[in-house]
Structure 1
Amino acid sequence: MDDINDSIQAFFEDYERRFEEGLAGNAVAEDTAKAFAEFFVEASPAGVSGGKNDSAFWESVPKGYEFYRSIGIHKMEIRQVDITELDDLHYLVDVRWQSFYMKDGVEGSIEFSVIYFLQHLNGTLKIFAYITGDEQRILKQSGLI
């Protein structure tokens, strides 16, 4: 399992780099989409939804980065990655993120966790589902929205 753990760690290091590039305004929609399965599921306090990895998804990726930039978030870093093997092909990965922001001349940060479900098929890792916390509440509490 050490090889797959190393692969999963590298997968999220790449994901983190793409996030940084997206926050910098660089075009990363295509590379971001490559991290996701053809269909994926999101669960959050807003409910459960599914989406296709299609042109609509690709168009939404830059809008997400623009939203984060607009509220002052300028950097995202992974603090911790915990991997649980579910079976030979599937993994639950709890990623602890820290976002850094600048609001009204004051720097701050927010820590949060996202649980990702990965499938390792044909030598490729893909996100097929993820669970997020109440991002809107946290952003409001931090004064970002």
Structure 2
Amino acid sequence: MEDINDKIEQFFESYEKRFEKGLAGNPIAEDTANAFADFFVEASPVGVTGGKNDQDFLDAIPKGYDFYRSIGTTKMEIRQLDITELYEFHYMVEVYWESFYEKDGTTDSIEFTVMYFLQHLDGALKIFAYITGDEQAVLKERGLI
């Protein structure tokens, strides 16, 4: 039987690869949406929002990749995963990302952390919530937006 930690690691490896494909302009909206629960919550310094995993979400996914390309994002890599079992079927995963940018011939990277909350039901992992830092402030500070 597959260890849940291995399954979570594979889930995020796929997430990272999908991000790379999305940055390259490949259609990955449906695969990205499949990583999320029917309803999910985002918390950041600007507040807490919730969204349905519906057509509006599918339509927004390519726009997100367009934004990252527009500011010079070339790659996103996972540096580390810290997995915590909260209750049976529920996990908190702290993902340490490094994003790479190229702007005006200069390359740079930004390290950041996102806390994802996953549910494991019927053999599938789904993101039902995540917490981020102030990405916009960091991007402004670096002159990317």
Per the normalisation by structure 1, the TM-score is 0.98
Q: In the alignment, what sits opposite 2:46?
A: 46
- Give per-residue Cα distances to partners, 1:13-50, cap 9 Å, x unaligned: 00000000000000000000000000000000110000
**Paired residues for 1:58-137 under 5 Å:** 58-137=58-137
Question: Following superposition, which runs of at least 4 residues in structure 1 exceed 4 angstroms of deviation?
Answer: none
Q: Secondary structure at the match of 1:27?
A: coil
Aligned equivalents of 1:112, 1:23: Cα separation in 2: 18
* Matching of residue 142 in structure 1 with residue 130 in structure 2: no
CA distance in 2, matches of 1:49, 1:101: 27
What secondary structure, in the 3-state scheme, does the structure 2 residue paired with 1:86 have? strand
Q: What letter corresponds to residue 111 of structure 1 in structure 2?
A: E
Using the alignment, how far apart are the partners of 2:77 and 2:143 within structure 1? 20
Distance 2:105 2:121 in 1: 46
Residue 48 of structure 1: SS of its match in structure 2? strand
Say which SS state the counterpart of residue 27 (structure 2) adopts. coil
Aligned partner of residue 25 in structure 1, secondary structure = coil
Q: Structure 1: 5+ residue runs without aligned partners?
A: none
CA distance in 1 between counterparts of 2:94 and 2:40 reads: 17
Q: What is the CA-CA distance between 1:103 and the residue it aligns to? A: 0.7
Unpaired runs of at least 5, structure 2: none
Matched length: 144
Deviation at 1:142, TM superposition (A): 1.0
String of CA shifts for 1:99-139, please: whole Å, max 9, x gaps: 00001100000000000000000110000000000000110
What's the offset of the Cα at 1:143?
A: 1.0
Q: Distance in 1 between matches of 2:20 and 2:9?
A: 17
Post-superposition Cα deviations, 1:41-79, rounded to whole Å, max 9, x if no partner, equal 000011000000000000000000000000000100000
